[in-house]
Amino acid sequence: MGRFVVRRLLGMVAVLFSVSVIVFLVFNVIPSSDPAQRMAGKSATPRLVKSITEEWGFDDPLPQQYLTMMKKVFSGELISYFGRENVDERIVEGIPATFSLCVGAAAIWLFFGLLFGYLSAMRAGGTLDRALTVVAVTGLSMPVPFIAALFLNYFTYKTEIFPSGGYVELTADPLEWLDHLIVPWITLAILYIGFYSRVLRSNMLDAMNEDYVRTARAKGLSERRVIRGHVLRNSLIPIVTLFGLDVGILLGGAIVIEGLFSLNGIGQYAYESLKNVDLPPIMAITLFGAFFIVLFNALVDIAYAFLDPRVKLGESAQ
């Protein structure tokens, strides 16, 4: 067990290292992306460009530049090219907004996704199932900017039920916090409710045909206990994995939603930095996002290794 965990964690570090190298290369190897030129502005003198190049070490060999940058990422000294502000501090400042957005939206989509999926599976083929299928597939076909624009227009500009954006700290004013987050939560949740309900529905229908369910019925368990104890339990297993992955991805920032609702979290910071082709924040945010994706994936794997006796450690430790 210990060896499995260690191997899994080492694999994580290797993946994160590769991710950082790729981000660094993408922004350095591509032509016309000389940061000194862009930092100096359009009407810059060659001398200014040269002094910026020397000051920031843009003429150092690439491996050395990479090492310097990574050292700064982890020591919290990374400075952005454009605002010249401390990147790690900005990310830490963005964490409350991004986490609030993710956790709230995740709770909503998990609740409704599972509820709809359960009802759909129990009434498979019926009217309710068909209606919920329409809702689900519409949700997973929704372009993010479109639904955000719809909600912005109807809930905030036209009716002024909710504020048009911004983030209020939970500790400062819990009611305002809620008021500002409800629309972004619903927007984000809609994209996932459909998917989760489809997954649960299909898993439950599969499980109902399994031998262990027939056995449970044969030994006289009530239908309720068959569904709760056997069908639902086994159908939820893959949901845990998916949920870990999806939340991991979102913690790296829901770029469009944060941007449109001015939530001032990590996603919005990512968007601003991308507009300025500002490598240091992009590097740090990508690593931050990738870290959660890899971490949740590893945690789920390790959790299963503990819970499921069938998992052979040697093989799953990829």
Partner 1 sequence: MAVVGPWRLAWRRLRRNRVALGFLGLFVAIVVFCLAAPLWASEVAHTGPNKTHTLEKIQAGGEVREVVNREGRPIGPQWLEADGKFFLGADGRLGRDEMVRLMYGGRTSLEIGFAAALLTTLLGTLLGLLAGYYGGWPDTLISRALDVIWAFPVTLLAISLGLVLAVGGLQIGPLHLSGSSLWITILIIGGVYVPYMARPIRGEVLALREREFVEAAEAQGAGPGRIMLTELLPNLSSTIIVFFALNVANAMLLEALLSFLGVGVQPPNGSWGTMLSSGLDLLTSAPLLTYLPGAMILLTVLAVNVFADGLRDALDPRSKVRIEAHSGLTKAESVEGIAP
d(CA 181, CA 302): 33
CA 29 to chain centre: 28
Sole binder of partner 1 in the list 5, 7, 9, 26 (CB under 8 A): 26
Q: Is 216 in the site for partner 1 (CB under 8 A)?
A: no
In terms of CB distance, is 26 or 178 closer to partner 1?
A: 26
Helices (H), 41-126: 46-56, 62-75, 87-122
x-or-dash string of contact with partner 1, 274-313, rule CB under 8 A: xx-x----x--xx--xx--xx-----xx--xx--x-xxx-
Nearest approach, Cβ of residue 49 and partner 1 (Å): 17
**162, 177 contact by CB (below 8 A):** no
The yes or no reply on residue 16 touching partner 1 (CB under 8 A) is: yes
Q: Is 265 helix (H, G, I), strand (E, B) or coil?
A: coil
Considering the complex, what minimum distance in angstroms separates the CB of residue 169 from partner 1?
25
Q: What are the CA-CA distances from residue 115 to residues 62, 103, 112, 223 (Å)?
A: 52, 18, 5, 18
Residue (18 or 51) nearer to partner 1, CB: 18
202 touches partner 1 by CB under 8 A: yes
Q: Which of residues 103-162 bind partner 1 (CB under 8 A)?
A: 137-138, 140-147, 149-150, 152-153, 157-158
DSSP string of 115-172, one letter each residue: HHHHHHHHTTTSHHHHHHHHHHHHHHT--HHHHHHHHIIIIIIIS-SS-SS----TTT
Query: For residues 130 and 225, which CB has a smaller minimum distance to partner 1 in the complex?
Result: 130
Nearer to partner 1, 89 or 206 (CB): 206
Q: Which two tokens stand for residue 61?
A: 């060999």
Burial class (CB in 10 A: 0-12, 13-18, 19+), 11: middle
| Residue ranges in contact with partner 1 by CB under 8 A | 15-16, 18-19, 22-23, 26-27, 30-33, 137-138, 140-147, 149-150, 152-153, 157-158, 195, 198-199, 202-203, 206, 237-238, 240-242, 245-246, 249, 252-253, 255-256, 270-271, 274-275, 277, 282, 285-286, 289-290, 293-294, 300-301, 304-305, 308, 310-312, 315-316, 318
